[in-house]
Amino acid sequence: MSEPDFRKDFPILKDPKFIYFDNAATTQRPQQVLDAVEHFYRTENANPLRGLYKWSIDATEDYEEARRKVAAFIGAEDPCEIVFTRNATESLNLVAYSYGMSSVSEGDEIVVSVTEHHSNILPWQMVARAKGAKLVYLECTKDGVYTDEEINAKITEKAKIVAIGQVSNVLGTENPVRKIADRAHSFGAVVVVDGAQSTPHMAVDVKKLGADFFAFSGHKLLAPMGIGVLYGKEKLLDEMPPFLTGGEMIEYVTRDSATYAELPHKFEAGTVNAAGAVGLGAAIDYVSKVGFDYIEKKELALTTLLLQEMKKDPHITVYGSDDPAKHCGIVTFNIEGCHPHDVSSILDADNVCIRAGHHCAQPLMQYLGVNATCRASMYFYNTEDEVRRFVASLGKVREELGYGS
């Protein structure tokens, strides 16, 4: 059976010279997404939500259609639970500033995990500092697993907010969000899920996850940069104060007071990124066409091959699970004696694109006892041929850095 050729839809991937293995940082965009954005600007560009003429009405309709697509895509109850933001980072900050600052008090606990991206740590550090609350860390095993004992020990009646990533951007492990959410809910705490690394790779259902809030970025899901999503349960969003104030989020304003627009517009101050939302809608259509069955199968095949080939090199250390099914397309590693920045520079000379550094997860780097790591992250449009060429390129790094082969 021949494989479907999705790669042909991605203009930037047409140059076979480049191996793009930095998909956990941002994915590439298919022609369908580029066309949707261009179509918006070419045929109906106007400021949505306000105008009373055709272009603005069309722009509004397409913007709201994108919201309905997102709601269906992640299993939200109602499109009003979908707030468009710039990215997952802004979504998480919105929850911290609006919900966190108005609900957390002195002596409360905010629970985060050691595998979090900085964007799901720093907003909570801010809330904890401002409110005199305590930040509590869930610690994982070296494979990145959160045990029941750890979950039960750290999430207690003091917890007000539990913030957890669904998939680690370094180890690729999927966290037991449902279990964590059930424990948190039993104490009345609210669960904030960072879905930046999961949404592109697996079917998400916010209700099944038990998420009260769920954040993700469009650009890791084939959509343009600058469009992100915050899902929040209607009841919670309704009670929260606005995050940003100004235009397009009001109902009525006097000199000294204002009443706010209904959900979700209360949280979308200023002119929105309508073209970005339309692009995200097109990306969701595209991903749905590809299907998560295919995405998961392809990523597993690529990860299996990559881990198997890397294991043959005694100088390579891979972080996280031995099981390729627990990597979500992400393989983080180090080459003995070689700093990740040198590794990625040398690979760059072979047109191989990977990430090197701390991956915005310094607490996890400290936990792993490393300053920095290399990260290869794959998506469904990558190929086994690319994996082989990548491994061949890796095999030359030590020699290029002056170690005898």
**Which residues does the annotation mark as catalytic?**
360
Residue 140 or 335 with smaller CB distance to other proteins? 335
Site map 41..60 versus other proteins, x via CB under 8 A? --------------------
Q: Distance between CA atoms of 87 and 223, rounded to whole angstroms? A: 11
**366 near other proteins (CB under 8 A):** no
**Token reading at 138:** 């869930």
Q: Distance between CA atoms of 159 and 125, rounded to whole angstroms? A: 14
Residue 135 Cβ, how far from other proteins at the closest point, in Å?
21
**345 near other proteins (CB under 8 A):** yes
- Contacting range for other proteins; rule: CB under 8 A; set: 31-39, 184-192, 221-229, 335-343: 335-343
Residue 337 Cβ, how far from other proteins at the closest point, in Å?
8
**150 near other proteins (CB under 8 A):** no
Residue 358 Cβ, how far from other proteins at the closest point, in Å?
6
User: For residue 367, which of 164, 88, 119, 170 has the smallest C-alpha distance?
Assistant: 170
Residue type, 114: V
**403 near other proteins (CB under 8 A):** yes
- Contacting range for other proteins; rule: CB under 8 A; set: 185-193, 251-259, 300-308, 332-340: 332-340
Torsions phi, psi of 217, nearest 5?
-105, 140
Residue 359 Cβ, how far from other proteins at the closest point, in Å?
11
Cβ pair 228, 74 in contact under 8 A: no
Find the DSSP H helices in 117-198. Answer: 122-131, 148-154, 177-186
**372 near other proteins (CB under 8 A):** yes
User: For residue 402, which of 327, 346, 320 has the smallest C-alpha distance?
Assistant: 346
Residue type, 270: G
Q: Using CB under 8 A, which of 191, 356, 364, 374 touches other proteins?
A: 356
Residue with tokens 């799901």: 120
Residue 300 or 353 with smaller CB distance to other proteins? 353
Residue 65 or 342 with smaller CB distance to other proteins? 342
Residue 248 or 400 with smaller CB distance to other proteins? 400
DSSP assignment of 45-105, as one string?
-S-TTT--SHHHHHHHHHHHHHHHHHHHHHT-S-GGGEEEESSHHHHHHHIIIIIIHHH--
**Token reading at 307:** 């881990």
Residue 23 Cβ, how far from other proteins at the closest point, in Å?
19
Q: Using CB under 8 A, which of 19, 346, 376, 378 touches other proteins?
A: 346
**Binding region for other proteins (CB under 8 A):** 338-342, 345-346, 348-349, 356-358, 365, 371-372, 400-403
